[in-house]
Amino acid sequence: MNLDEIDKRILRALQRNGRMSNAELSDDAHLSPSACHRRVQRMEKEGYIKDYVALLDARKLNVPTTVFVEITLRGQTDDILYSFEKSVARIPDVLECHLMAGSADYLLKVVAENTEDFARIHRQYLARLPGVQGMQSSFALRTVFKTTALPVV
């Protein structure tokens, strides 16, 4: 299915405010509420809309420190990759894990209370990940901007 301009308008509006009512969304999209609802249901069914979530404030939840961790593995066999990915997915402080091309095999985005808390996460989880040959951590000093909204063009 191709998205038309109305579908894209709906997706942009939902990315700004996923809790808006169908009446508000239909006003934004310049559609009747029933037509808008059908379009949203279709985009959910076809996987364009994966889920609806609440974005939480890291500072209020006392995890304001973001650390990017580059992981190099001993090898890239299917077994090593599978074991690593299965293990890293269980770490509650890891928000993202990306298989990379380049100098690192994986890039993790980790949140922590502070440097001491990150040291605990490193000792308790990261240092025990299977297949790891090397690890380099970089602390974010300040988030310049952050979004979860994908470009809908």
Over residues 131-147, the pLDDT tens digits come to: 999 999 999 999 999 99
| Per-residue pLDDT band at 86 (split at 50, 70, 90) | very high
Q: What is the pLDDT of residues 119-132, one digit of tens each?
A: 999 999 999 999 99
Mean pLDDT of the chain: 97
CA proximity to 48, closest of 96, 2, 113, 112? 2
Rounded mean pLDDT, 39-53 = 97
Domains in the chain, please, with CATH? 5-45 (1.10.10.10), 65-139 (3.30.70.920)
| Per-residue pLDDT band at 70 (split at 50, 70, 90) | very high
Whether the pTM exceeds 0.85: the reply is: yes
- pLDDT higher than 90, residue 15: yes
Q: What is the pLDDT of residue 1?
A: 74
- Rounded CA-CA distance 93/10 in Å is 32
CA proximity to 64, closest of 29, 110, 22, 102? 110
